[in-house]
Amino acid sequence: MYLLDTDTLIFLIRGHSNVAGNFDAHAAAPKALSAISYGELIYGAMKSAYPIENAAKARRLTQLFPIIDVSQPVIETFSSLKVELEKQGQKLEDFDLIIAATAIQLGYAVVTGNVRHFQRIPNLRVENWAK
């Protein structure tokens, strides 16, 4: 079970061979994306040179993978993670922490190229399908 981070989704849209191969290898496994990643994709599309086409590609992903909303348990996990990391003197973008909290709540692994960001989060499985 996998939660797809924004960069992995962008690699998928662009046809990155390693990512496409990993999608094939994990075809039977459930996959989803956070509402945060969807928002980042739509934002990127809107500021691109081709907003209509790129937004359509982002919307197509929602037909392939369910969007996981930011729920109360996710926000509580996010808050706990943020406090724990701050006590350790570490900072992480709030959106990345919400994505991580979503994966932890679901028991999913985060699929991302930003392994360095996510590996600091306790109890989070991280995979990089771009390698």
Q: What would the pLDDT profile of 23-76 be if each residue is shown by its tens digit? A: 999 999 999 999 999 999 999 999 999 999 999 999 999 999 999 999 999 999
**122, pLDDT greater than 90:** no
pLDDT score of 9 more than 90: yes
Residues 69-97: pLDDT tens digits? 999 999 999 999 999 999 999 988 999 99
CA distance 36 to 67: 9
- Annotate 13-35 with DSSP letters as a single string: HTT-HHHHHHHHHTTTS-EEEEH
pTM for the full model?
0.93
What confidence score (pLDDT) does residue 91 get? Answer: 86
Tokens describing residue 62 = 């929602």
Domains of the chain and any CATH numbers:
2-127 (3.40.50.1010)
